[in-house]
Amino acid sequence: MSSKAQSSDPRAKDQHALAAEGPPLEASAEAIHFLNSLQKEELQMLFFSETLAVVSNTGEPQGELTIEVQSGKQKDQFGIMSHYPFVHASCRSFMDKTVCGNSLQGYLSWDLRTIEQHSQEFIKFHILPMERKISLLKEEDQLVMTRSIKEGEEVKTEVTFFPWDSTMGFISEAANLLLLRVMAWRQMVPNNARFLALDTEGKLCYSTYQALGTQTIQVDRQQVEVFMVEQTVHADQGIPMSCQFYLLSDGHLAKRIQVGSPSYCLITKMPSLREEDEIEPQPVFKKKPLVWEEDMELYSKFLDRKEQLRLSHTRYLQQHPDAQALISDFLLFLLLRQPADVVTFAAEFFGPFAVHRPPSGLRF
């Protein structure tokens, strides 16, 4: 269950904090299983940028949409800088001769959980401009959402706290862009998968995806096959919002249609489709037994090394006759007494010599 706190600046209306009512929403097991199946190597294949034109239903150009997914650095829960998927998207267009746009940037975990996301949407109406900002930030064991709406000079701010465990299967806007690329790459949508999302009012709701099959469309004078996916956000109140995505085989977005919108997004230049790298199996070399005694070169090196060691040992004992005498005495007493505990006997034998040992800087 989430809790809310609302505040406003001196120009905003007074509002009070309320706790969300009703049982908490949960993503389906199929959705959780799909997210847990994601692999880091698979997501890294989907790191690229793309640009689409915003076109009215009558074919008039209205703006541009850019989406970029790349590797970004972010501190993990232990304060260590780690690499995560970073999503950045922006759109600027005209709607009835009014400038509007939105921007998005977010850091995701490798199973598409949202670590941090900041989104902004604006419509520059002549009389009453509107701006909406939403920030999501993981703080310890919860996900904090800060939502502010500015209409003219009036600003309303609302803060909502979601327990981290309750956000399993939650797909933010940033995660949705990467999730769609995964579905296109795999050419499949998980059956009966019910994810969590935020509606336009910032309330947690269900989000579902449906595969609409394949279709051939024209892109940059080429006929290409696209995989169609429809996402539906089931708002707590009001009618569901649906958006259709036409995706190329490597995850590039060829077309996006929001049901009921007077415009759509369309790719204008055919990208170079990426294919999965084929990893050739490593060659297997059978081990052959090495009979070095029969190898004249190895055997010659062995004899040379053996002679070098013998001369080195002999020279050292000649230079340190006390070492040979000490070892001889120890072996003599050891064989005479034949103790059961050789280590203790050696410690007692060599112990008196320790008081004569000069200090050493060696540490283990």
Tell me how far apart the alpha carbons of residues 52 and 66 are, in angstroms, rounded to a whole number: 6
pLDDT of residue 18: 37
Interval 316-326 mean pLDDT: 82
Task: State mean pLDDT over 80-86.
Answer: 90
Q: Residue 276: its pLDDT value, please?
A: 64
Q: What is the rounded average pLDDT of the residues 201-215?
A: 94
**Lookup result for tokens 């296109």:** 184
If you average pLDDT over residues 5-28, what whole number do you get? 55
Place 282 in a pLDDT band, splitting at 50, 70 and 90: low
pLDDT in tens, 188-207: 999 999 999 999 888 999 99
In the chain, what is the straight-line distance between the N-terminal and C-terminal CA atoms, in Å? 55
Q: What is the mean pLDDT of residues 169-190?
A: 97
Beta carbons within 8 Å of 322's beta carbon, 6+ residues apart: none
| Of the listed ranges 87-101, 148-162, 173-187, 254-268, the one predicted with least confidence | 87-101
Question: Which of 100-114, 189-203, 261-275 has the weakest average pLDDT?
Answer: 261-275
Is residue 30 pLDDT above 80, yes or no? yes
55 phi/psi in degrees, rounded to 5? -125, 140
Query: Around 50, how many Cα atoms within 13 Å sit in the side-chain half-sphere?
Result: 27
Question: What's the mean pLDDT when you consider all of the chain?
Answer: 85
Residue 322, pLDDT score: 80
Nearest alpha-carbon partner for 74 in 167, 174, 166: 174
Integer Cα distance of 74 and 81 in angstroms: 5
Q: Which of 142-156, 197-211, 292-306, 345-359 has the lowest mean pLDDT?
A: 345-359
CB 137 within 8 A of CB 161: no
User: Which band of pLDDT confidence, cut at 50, 70 and 90, is reported for residue 281?
Assistant: low
Q: Is the dihedral of CA 243, 246, 247, 249 positive or negative?
A: positive
Q: Which residue has the higher pLDDT, 282 or 198?
A: 198
Q: Which residue has the higher pLDDT, 137 or 24?
A: 137
Find, among 192, 121, 136, the residue nearest to 167 by Cα. Answer: 136
Residue 187: what are its φ and ψ, rounded to 5°?
55, 45
Asked whether the predicted pLDDT for residue 174 surpasses 80, the reply is: yes
d(CA 193, CA 168) in angstroms, rounded, equals 13
Q: What's the pLDDT band for 359 if we cut at 50, 70, 90? A: very low
Q: How far apart are CA 180 and CA 185, in angstroms?
A: 9
Tens-place pLDDT, residues 345-357: 888 888 777 655 5
pLDDT score recorded for residue 292: 63
Residue 357 pLDDT = 52
Give the pLDDT score at 163: 94
Beta-ladder partners of 88: 68, 105
Predicted model pTM:
0.70
77: pLDDT strictly greater than 90: no
The two three-digit tokens of residue 304, written as one number: 């040379």
Q: How many Cβ atoms are within 10 Å of 159's Cβ, its own excluded?
A: 16
Alpha-carbon span 91 to 362, nearest angstrom = 66
Domain ranges of the chain: 29-267, 296-349
Higher-confidence residue of 152 and 240: namely: 240
What pLDDT does 98 receive? Answer: 80
Confidence of residue 16 (pLDDT cuts 50, 70, 90): very low
For residue 362, the model assigns a pLDDT of 41
Q: Specify the higher pLDDT residue, 112 or 122.
A: 112
C-beta of residue 248 within 8 angstroms of C-beta of residue 226: yes
